[in-house]
Each structure stands twice: as structure tokens, then as C-alpha cells.
Amino acid sequence: MNQVLQVRNLGKIYGPGCPHCFESTGPEAHTNLCPHCDSVIAIHDVSLDLHEGEILGIMGESGSGKSTVVKALYFDQAPSAGEAIFFDAEKQHALFNLNTAQQRWLRNFRFGMVYQHPHQGLNFNITAGGNIAERLLMSDLMDYNAIRARAKALLTRMEVLLSRIDDRPKNFSGGMQQRVQIAKALATRPPLLFLDEVTSGLDLSVQARILDLILEIQQELKTAMIVVTHDLGVIRLLTGRAIVMKYGRVIEAGLTDQILEDPQHAYTQQLVASAL
Amino acid sequence: MAPTILRVEGYGKQFQLHEQRKRIPSSHNVHFTVRAGELTALIGPTGAGKSSVLKGVYRTYLPSAGRILYRDARGHELDLALASEHQILELRRREIGFVTQFLHCLPRQATLDVVAQPLFTLGVARPEARRRAAELLSAMHLPERLWSISPAMFSGGERQRVNLARGFIAKPRLLLLDEPTASLDPITAECVIDLITGLKAEGAALLAIFHHPETIRRLADQVIELALPPVVEECLEDAA
């Protein structure tokens, strides 16, 4: 399996930062707020690898920094430290050395992002079909009929009724909004997809359908994915490997079944033991 | 003699429970080899760590001691205890299967697709994968009316058959079985025994735990008896 992504020593600090930030924060210090300079060490020293067609889970409680990792990789927030290489066929892109135009190009053509809140990923003022068209227009597709056909195919694939294609997503249920968001993210068939708590807050039955669709798509398109979630059920069903974060640091990484059945770190043991 | 494909040398596993500050021994100093075309049965009292050995080989558990040397299809030997996660995932995809007593699957997935899943991931076309899944499910007498629904609401015995079919379908080189006939009626258990005999004849190596001595007598080429690990629930020194 080919490598898709290599991330090394990723860090993000909100605030001025000081020489004591890293030693004064993290799981042992039980905080990510530096007591010396009041900076928030959102993430520090995060490294990970992702291969083609693989789903990697990032688990942890809120405030652990798990979303910050994907936001940095998707260029939503510039990191303070670290590097990431995206392997795209024969090309290699050092993500944080690219200029804004190059980053935008990767976001539009090669990456996809599905946010927890549909309004972050969708434009609620235009129709479901328009949302997908918008992403296709930013990439290569320019022909109206081709765009319309692609939007229909994607919405059908995500089990959104075609009769709703010209409705605005603000009138959709939460589960349907999330399906439109996934369709939009997949519109350009990206080899790398980020999913940030995509099923949190949805009914269990709706959640199951969405997870199922995500897995089918991963098998069909061989999309590599990073799934951020606090839900151990989602981790177990979707991912092959996982990393566990706490106060901005990776405290454990391994095969998903190993992390769930033989967790090494005290915190992971607690997390797994307290799951329903 | 048939080629050895797995050598377990001094495998040991203990759990370090941080919250209770305890170390729980699970397996201790286990040695054996597994050969192609043969079934190796693990026996021993409850608590001797039979499942722990299977999980160590599959790397669901991180071994605490010993080497687990596996010779892959290309003839390369690697220590599963030290192999990278991607190496393990690749072996699980192509060579090493595990049938446990539990079935984790997506809530909505049809039984036929649950069984065909290992073939989907190997890139076998869906109709062909489903055809082979159907073949296996008929061989195990799972009523056809159940094939299109999710196994989530099946009985223990039905679920166990789905689990077995999924474990058998990709014809792994090494198949780990944890009490695969435990909740089956005698007729179905008989079908499973036939299927296992078939896999052996095709050259698969099996490492298995069986509940019934009779099943072991009929299927096992080699029996490894595990002893209880020494009972030392030592307290950890660090008062973290």
C-alpha cells in the first residue's frame, strides 16, 4: 500500500508561547494551558502516517486537540510547527511550504473535509445541487449538464432524494445535511478525506447509515481517511489504526482492536473501561 | 513433513492495569509450532491464556515477552510481536484470519455482504464475492431468508455461522479459531468440521481452541497444553 500522508511533529500554539510551554502542559500536567505565558498548546509533537485506502482514527475527549490536527492538514488553521508531506501519485507536496494558491488547489482537487456542523461545510443559501456544483466549478468541470449529472449521481449515492436537489440544505434534517456534505466533499474524488465528528449528534439509526456509506465509499474509491471522533463505536467500526490524544499530545497509537482490547496508557484504559 | 509457518517462542502476556495498580498475568512462556495443512489445538484450564495466545498472534494483544515468527506466502519470516502496524494489517488482509466468538459489523449491512467483506477488501468483484458468500452460507445451513438482513439480531448460533463463513471465505494461510463450534447445534457443527477438514486439505494452517474434546480428537494433528500462569498479582511500584 502506498503512503498518502506523512505528518511529523505537528504543533499549534495559541498565544505568545514561552520556553516553558511544553514542559508545563500535556497529559502529566493535566492541562494544555501554559501557566507561565497563558498560551494554549492545542497540539504538540503530533506525528502520523496514512496509507492508501486506510482509515485512521484520532480519538480523545474535547480539548484533546484532535480536531486541530485535521484543521491544520486541511489548511483551516496554520500550524506553529511541524511538517506534512502529501504523496499524490508521483508528486510530493510539503503542505506547509505551499503558497495560498497551491493550498487552495489541493483543498479543491485532492482533499475533502466533512465537518461536524453541516453549516461549516455547506453554503446554506444555495441548493444542495448548487453546493456540489460550486465545488466542481472550483475544480475542472465547467459544463452545466456534466455538473448537474455528477451532482445527481453523488446525491443518489449518498441516498439523498433527487427531488430535493434544488432545495436548500437549511431545510434538511441533520442526517440529510451530513449526507449532502459528504457528497460535496467527494465530488472531486479526492484521495484524502478528513471527517471531523461527522456522526456526533445524529440519531443512532441515521449514524449507522452514514458510517455504512463511508465504508462503502472507502472500498469503492480507495479513499484514505482520517476520522476524528470521541465515539469508540465509530472508531471500532471504521478504523484499522488509531491514535489517542490527551491535552494536545498523542499518548497512544496502534491497531484499533489492540487499543480497544489491550490499551497501554492509563488514560486509554480509563476511556475504554468507561465506554458503554 | 509439512512446512512450519508459525513458531511461537516464549510468548508471554501480562496486563498492566494502571488504575488498580496491578499486573495480571495472562500467558506465560508458551512454545509451539504450527505447520501448513495441520490443525494445532490449544487446551488447558480456564485462565491458562488460550485466547491470549490467539490474540497475541493476531496482535490484538501486544505480547509482553517472546517471539512469534511467521513465515509469509513469499517465504519471508517476520516476528509478529515486532512487525509494523501496516505489516500486520496487510497480513490480516491477505494471510491471517481470526474467528472469534464476537461479531462486530455495521448495523445495517446485509449478512451476505458481512461474509463477503474480506473479498471486497481484496478487490474481488462484488457479484463474485457475494456468490462465494452464498455458497458458504448454504454449506453452513444458514436459511436463505436471513442473507439479506443484518446479523445484528441473529441468534448466537446463526451469528457464529456468519462469523465462520467470513473467516473462511478468503482462505487464509493461517486461521485462528476461538471456540468456533461452541454455540452450534450438532448438525451445523458437523458442517463446520467438514469445512475445517477441507481447509486443512487445501494447505491452510489452523490454530484453534475447541470446547469439546471430541472435536479436538477428530480435527487436531497436534495438541498443546497450556498451564496456568504463575499467580502474582503484584502491585506496581509507581504511585502515579
Check whether B36 has a pLDDT greater than 50: yes
Closest Cα of chain A to B55: distance in Å?
9
**B69-88 residues touching A, CB cutoff 8 A:** 85-86, 88
Q: What are phi and psi of B225, to 5 degrees?
A: -95, 125
CB of B55 within 8 Å of any CB in chain A? yes
Of B83 and B122, the structure prediction assigns the larger pLDDT to B83
Find the range with the poorest average confidence among A88-92, A216-220, B119-123, B214-218. Answer: A216-220
Helix (H) or strand (E) holding A93: strand A91-94
pLDDT confidence bin for B12, thresholds 50/70/90: very high
pLDDT number for residue B239:
41
Between the two ends of chain B, the Cα-to-Cα distance in Å is: 53
| pLDDT at B237 > cutoff 60 | no
Q: What is the pLDDT of residue A157?
A: 85
Structural contact between residues A264 and B62, judged by C-beta atoms closer than 8 angstroms: yes
**pLDDT digits over A82-109, tens only?**
999 999 988 999 999 999 999 999 998 8
ipTM of the complex: 0.90
What's the Cα-to-Cα distance from A1 to each of A29, A109, B90, B97, rounded to whole Å?
Answer: 38, 22, 8, 19
Which residues on A lie below 8 Å from B240 (Cβ)? 266
Percent of chain A residues topping a pLDDT of 70: 98
pLDDT digits (tens, 9 = 90+) for B110-119: 999 999 999 9
Asked whether residue B102 carries a pLDDT value surpassing 90, the answer given is no
Residue of chain B whose alpha carbon sits nearest to that of A260: B60
Q: Which residues of B touch A236 (CB under 8 A)?
A: 104
Selecting from B60, B120, B121 the residue whose C-beta is nearest the C-beta of A262 gives B60
Band of the pLDDT at B151, cuts 50, 70, 90?
Answer: very high
The pLDDT of residue B234: 59
Residues of B in contact with A266 (CB under 8 A): 18-19, 240
Question: Which residues of chain B lie closer than 8 angstroms to A1, CB-CB?
Answer: 86, 90
DSSP A35: T
Q: How far is it, in rounded angstroms, from Cα A7 to Cα A190? A: 18
CB distance A182 to A198 below 8 Å: yes
Find the range with the poorest average confidence among A82-91, A216-225, B6-15.
Answer: A216-225
A215 touches chain B (CB under 8 A): yes
- The pLDDT, as a whole number, for residue B233 is 56
Give the pLDDT mean for B174-196: 90
Mean pLDDT of chain A: 92
Statement: residue B238 has pLDDT above 70: no
Q: Report how far apart, in Å, the C-alpha atoms of A67 and of each of A120, A156, A235, B203 are.
A: 14, 29, 15, 47
The alpha carbon of residue B196 and the mean position of all alpha carbons in its chain are separated, in whole angstroms, by: 13
Query: What confidence score (pLDDT) does residue B168 get?
Result: 94
Give the DSSP letter of residue A31.
Answer: B
Q: Note the pLDDT of residue B240.
A: 40
Could A254 and B88 be called an inter-chain contact, meaning their C-beta atoms sit closer than 8 Å?
A: no
Render pLDDT for B119-133 as a digit per residue (tens, 0 to 9). Answer: 988 889 999 999 999
Rounded alpha-carbon distances, angstroms, from residue B222 to B5, B97, B218: 14, 20, 11
Compute the average pLDDT of residues A206-233: 88
* Contacting residues for B59 by C-beta, under 8 A, at least 6 apart: A255, A258, B80, B81, B83, B88
Do the Cβ atoms of B108 and A209 come within 8 Å?
Answer: yes
Phi-psi group of B204: left, alpha or beta (phi > 0 → left; psi -120 to 50 → alpha; rest → beta): beta
The answer to whether the beta carbons of residues A246 and A43 sit under 8 Å apart is no
Say what the pTM is: 0.91
> In this predicted structure, what is the pLDDT of residue A248?
97
Quote the pLDDT of residue A36. 95
How far is the CA of B227 from the CAs of A203, B105, B231, B234, in angstroms? 48, 34, 11, 20
Assess B109–A contact: CB distance below 8 Å, yes or no: yes
Instruction: List, for residues A235-262, the tens digit of each pLDDT value.
Output: 998 999 999 999 999 999 999 999 999 9
The predicted-structure confidence for A101-140, as pLDDT tens digits, reads as follows: 999 999 988 999 999 999 999 999 999 999 999 888 877 7
pLDDT score at B235? 55
Residues of chain A by 3-state class (helix, strand, coil), percent to 5: 40, 25, 35
pLDDT for the residue numbered B13: 96
Q: Any chain A CB within 8 A of the CB of B108?
A: yes
Interchain proximity A237–B106, CB inside 8 Å: yes
- Nearest Cα of chain B lies from the Cα of A232 at a distance, in angstroms, of 13
Could you read off the pLDDT of A128-174 as tens digits, one per residue? 999 999 888 877 767 888 889 889 998 998 888 899 999 999 999 98
With CA atoms as reference, the chain A residue closest to B15 would be A262
Is B130 touching A (CB cutoff 8 A)? no
Q: Which of B16, B58, B59, B62 to mutate to test the interface with A (most CBs of A within 10 A)?
A: B62
Q: Which has the minimum average pLDDT: A108-112, A175-179, B146-150, B184-188?
A: B184-188
Within 10 A of B232 (CB to CB), how many other CB atoms are there? Answer: 9
pLDDT tens digits for B50-79? Answer: 999 999 999 999 999 999 999 999 999 999
The pLDDT of residue A199: 86
Percent of chain A with pLDDT strictly greater than 90? 73
Which of A210, A218, A257 is the mutation pick for testing B, counting most B CBs within 10 A?
A: A257
State whether residue A275 sits within 8 Å of chain B by CB. no
Mean pLDDT (chain B, rounded): 91
